[in-house]
Structure 1
Amino acid sequence: MRWRKKGGCFSFKCVRSKKLKILGYFTFTYQYLIKVNDIKTKKGIELLQHLVEYYHAQTNYFQDGLKTIQHFGSYVADLSIKLQKIRQKQDEEKRRLTELRTLLRNAPGLDKEAMNTSGSSDRGTGYSLHQLQGDKQHGVTRTGHLLKKSEGKVRRVWQKRRCQVQAEGFLDICHADETKPPSKVNLLTCQIKLVPEDRRCFDLISYNRTYHFQAEDDADQRAWMSVLVNCKESALMRAFDDSTKTGGSKLNQSHVELQQAIIRYVLKLPGNDRCCDCNSQNDATWLSTNFGIIVCIECSGIHRDLGVHISRIQSLTLDNVGTSQLLLVRHMTNVLFNEIMEATLQQSSKPTPSSTMEERCEFIRAKYVERKFTLQTCEDERDLLSDLEHAVNNKDLHQLLQVFAEGVDLASALPTSEIGETALHLAVVREMGKSLHLVDFLVQNMPTQAIDKPTLHTPDASGSGFNTALHLCAIHDKPECMKLLLRSGADITLKNSQDKTPMAIAREQGNITCENLLHYALERQKSHFENVFTDWNLLHDEASTDFSDDETIIDDRVS
């Protein structure tokens, strides 16, 4: 029959059909994979293109920023220098006005016409911003009666007292019963100040109390103040002369009292009752004169081993410490010093009174030689020098110690100085009786050869160049600064651009005190440089009384 097919033909058709299906499946799969690959390739290329575009955008952004910095960089640097100079001028103007105000309040014999005079300090005449000066025609002795306000606990009354100013430097205040021994006040430990509210009154401020006096009239008040100032100055100069003639082994009583009053005061300052390094209170009477700190007897030996170029040790009880060596300790305290020198120190790492000498030695060397525990606040040397200049301009001992601890070069020229001034030059010129301790810190802690470093050849305000700090002392009549320089061995033979020594300048300008000091240096009489004349501003106790506060009440206020 024709409708039947053979079995082999049917099988062939089935196999063929399967092969076609499999081929179609693979063809579809390959097409799918090709499309997936195309999609991935396109996405990868687009991603890379976007990354390249982002990179170009960032490059353009930073290039624009760099161009901006280059464009404004020099302007910003110039602006910083100008702002620094403006700040210095403002500080200088504020300082002058403050000191002039203080002078006007305190100066004896200053009438209203003189107070209304303007601009005299700029012309070099008129007011003096140095120590208070008395009228020399009144001399150094005076006897008479003054009204003294008592310091009674119940009420304060005015009492008439006989007073006598002695040439030796003392004021005797008699009792109501003048047969009793008078109370003696050492003028070297006192300040004399005018009372603005009443021109007949003045105050005598000693280290332990304030005496309030009232004279008969304005003229009598000026006479008493002049005599007190003259007597104080005369006693101080005589004390210096006496110590020189006896080789420094003998001082008069008033000078000894001044030294002891300063020492008593500094030992009561914060932290000065114990050692600056180990907190020991065992014989904590040893002074590091170039840092103004108090240490114990154990730590003082280690300080000595470091050498005088690191720390200079004197005993407050065994050595005859001159007042020039007490300048820094009067203004520095152990607490202030450690705020800088131990800023990053873990207190558990600090030696204790029971620590061994090896532990103390390791710590003291790390603290003073390596300065490991100080906090770094400046990025580079220029920042340090800028802060150094700011510290001197603002009479800031704390900031001066900070830049010293960070390793500033004290002999480098200041960044805003056009004549190559160092910090020492600037400190000498700006010293007006309130920043002598800054000069002392610089002199004692800078390299010895840097003390004689001159300014540039460019003439300064005096019309000369190549001036050392000693030249500036002679030019500006700074005898107390000169003492500190001569004590440290400043060279008196150096000449400036006008071929003048400090001696020639002092003689030419009539600065007699400076000239005498330079003569003493030539004769190697160094004891003249061991004591300085400055207002110590020792703490006084308003509640203290003496035996002159008794009897004879005048009234609450004499009109």
Structure 2
Amino acid sequence: MDTLLDFEECIRDSPAFRKSLDRCENDFTELENRVEKVMKLCGQMVEAGQSYTNCNQLFLSALSEFMVYHKSDGVILSCLRQFNQGLQEMIQFQTMLFDQTQRAITQQLTNLLSRFVPQIRDTRREFVRIGDDLEAAVLKNTQVSRHKPADAERASHLLLATRKCYQHFALDYCLQMNNFKVQQKLDVLNSVFSYFHAQNTFFHQGFDLLKDLEPSMKTMASQLSQLSIDCTAKRKDLENTHLLVQQRDASGDAVIVCNPSDGGTIQGYLFKRSRKKNKTWKRCWFSTENNQLIYSKSHKVQAVVLFDDLRLCAVKSLEAIDRRFCFELLSVQKCCVLQADTEELKLAWINAVQGCIDMAYRDQIANQNTQVKKNSTPVPVLKQPSHAPALGVALQGNGNRRCCDCGEAEPRWASLNLGITMCIECSGIHRSLGVHLSKVRSLTLDSWEPEQVKLQCILGNDVINSIYECNPVDGLQKPSPNSSRHDKEQWIRFKYVEKRFVKRQSDSADADIETAKLRAGEKLYQASLIGDLVAMATALAAGAEVNWSNPEQEGRTALIGSAIGGSLLACEFLLQNGAKVNLRDQHGQGALHAAATHGHTGQVCLLLKRGANQYAADERGNDPLSIAVETAQADIVTLLRMARMNEEMRDSEGFFGSVDDETFQDIFRDFSNMASHDPEKLSRRQFARSAEDGAVNKQEGEGEEN
């Protein structure tokens, strides 16, 4: 630790004090210079970072324009759109980092210098001046003659007063120097710590963002791999086609496109003689289409119909003119002379046009002989209804078409555990809160399970705001879409972290925080039993512990209560809010035991997907599978056995084995969709199975009595 100036030595004004004072002044000057250098370089770094951010924004704008260029390619468009949204959010994180760096380094160090430096300099100036006066008073006092007592007395009084003033300023100067030496360590370390905390938050946000994009990146990687395979195959086909065409057609002869199977349709270049007096020849592109002869003078000019109906035309070779390879088309209204490049092309055109004429006559006769069957009814084609994307379904919830926290229209992000939708800026603030408070997902980039989308619809912004904004605080106003990020961040932290706006119990019994938490935990358990999501969200906002064991209910948690009650959405809501899936009650039974006991197939499927231990045994030694077998729950037995078989196969394949069996995934997906979209089917099957089991047991009992 650095030595401070000694006040006793300051009074004596000893050489040791002067030496220490010089060292402190040198340290003060050196520290001031270095702090100013740090602040200058910090400003340059922030300016360079802002320039980088601006260039990055321009790059993303160009990338957006690039997306428009590839709008016809769905794979490229999807990849570019997803990465563009992720990079836009990353730019916002970088802007936040530069702002926090500016505050952490420049502002704190500037406050340190502005608080101490001017005062220390003024005091030092007075200290030096009084020191000079003291030197003059000492010299004057020593030079007074002993024969002049009056002058000697005045010189002594002046020396005493000057020395007192000098000691006063010296002590003040030492105190200010010592205070600066003590405070500068705190401010410098606090500044550096704030800067590193901003860096930590920035990289944490980037990690969460990229982690959320992992499913999309895996999908893109598989699409890229398939696209690479398709590209290689396409290139080989093009090379083969190129070689084949080169060997077959690249002979210098004129090329025409003729399709005999389509009534002799033909395309190619011909010279057309003008009907004007100068009789000029113009090379045009001709084709037969829909019983018409069409030609185009240039690709920039729209094609023109030369003959409307080839059935009214005749085609013949023309030998009476000087030009070679000519033939003529005649109709009642007009005639036209055309010239091919070779004799073979001329014959091909004549045959093709004649074939079109013959085909047109055959089609006319076939249409006249065809009779429409009026009594026939078309068979309707049933199409499976396509599931709406997460965005369209989630925005149907009450208030979900605007951001829950600032009110911006058309939100594209949501919180899984809170059940709200939000804009991109508020989603970045929610990410900084941590996943234990808000699990942010994209409504357009991420994949959503059916029960998660239902939570967004049932809860929604209006319901959550009625809980978390029930008790507004005077002086605090909800931010708008145009509010600054600082105002939005302050509001969100007050709302979800400190829960300032949640309604508190006013009675004296709830004055104790622990008692209030216990009551909130009891309300959470009761709401989980009946599946009341609003009451569950209210209890969590009031401070209920999601994994609290209810002593009055044999130590059951709220998750076990939801498994008993049978609400799939209540179970999913608790899991998203941090409920531990393998906690057990006093009898050793967990949520999976309760779901198997009460025959809730959908919840068994959900708990298995969330990592429930299917081998856990209760105090009687029964695991969930044995309970399902004992209670004759056929669907649950199937699920548990498939899950156990899948786990055994995965263990046997070792580290490089497949993650899950496809059949197992298909069965789980079917049960999850049925539990989410049509739970009555599972209930009816369970009821029928219970009735059959009761009838069998009754017959067996009668047989034993006989």
Give the TM-score category using the shorter length: 0.3 to 0.5
Higher share in helix: 2
TM-score, L = length of structure 1: 0.45
Higher-RCO chain (CA-CA 8 Å, sequence separation at least 6): 1
TM-score, L = length of structure 2: 0.36
Q: Which has the larger radius of gyration?
A: 2
